[in-house]
Amino acid sequence: MSKKMLGNLMKEAQKLQERMMKMQEEAAQKTAEASSGGGMVTAVANGSGQLISITIDKEVVNPDDVEMLQDLVVAACNEAIKRAQEQVHEEMSKVTGGLQIPGMPDISNFFGK
């Protein structure tokens, strides 16, 4: 491989890496929402895997059944985070064409898995 071809390849790889880093920054600004219990509990997460908010309908708050509320909160939060992760994965796949390129961030580990 000639030096010129290698240089061009390196430039393209750097551009791709910059695009991926920009997408990660943009992902932190995007949100995904999910609910459980027929909308009684709603959670919002961002593309960085952080929980942004939880909304709980007062009708689901029953001091005699705290476990049900806990289950609804966990379900809504997990689904919101999953949806946010899927959005990021989809966007990153558009950039990489679904390929894992050496030296580029592994999107499967983007959320600390």
Number of domains in the chain: 1
Phi/psi class of residue 105: alpha, beta or left (left: φ > 0; alpha: ψ in -120 to 50)? beta
Residue 102 lies in a domain: yes
pTM for this one?
A: 0.70
pLDDT band at 109 (very low <50, low <70, confident <90, very high): very low
* pLDDT mean over 56-64: 94
Residue 9 lies in a domain: no
* pLDDT mean over 63-72: 95
Residue 76 lies in a domain: yes
H runs (alpha helix) in the chain = 3-27, 66-96
Residue with the bigger pLDDT between 15 and 70: it is: 70
Residue 1 lies in a domain: no
Residue 45 lies in a domain: yes
CA distance 111 to 113: 6
Residue 33 lies in a domain: yes
* pLDDT mean over 84-98: 80
69: containing domain: 21-108
| pLDDT at position 111 over 70 | no
- b/e sequence 37-51, b meaning 16+ C-beta within 10 Å: beebbbbbbbbbbee
pLDDT band at 51 (very low <50, low <70, confident <90, very high): very high
Residue 68 lies in a domain: yes
* pLDDT mean over 91-102: 68
CA angle (50, 78, 73) in 5-degree steps: 100
Structure tokens at 46: 């961002």
Residue 99 lies in a domain: yes
| Of 37, 29, 46, the residue nearest 80 (C-alpha) | 46
Looking up residue 31, the CATH number of its domain turns out to be: 3.30.1310.10
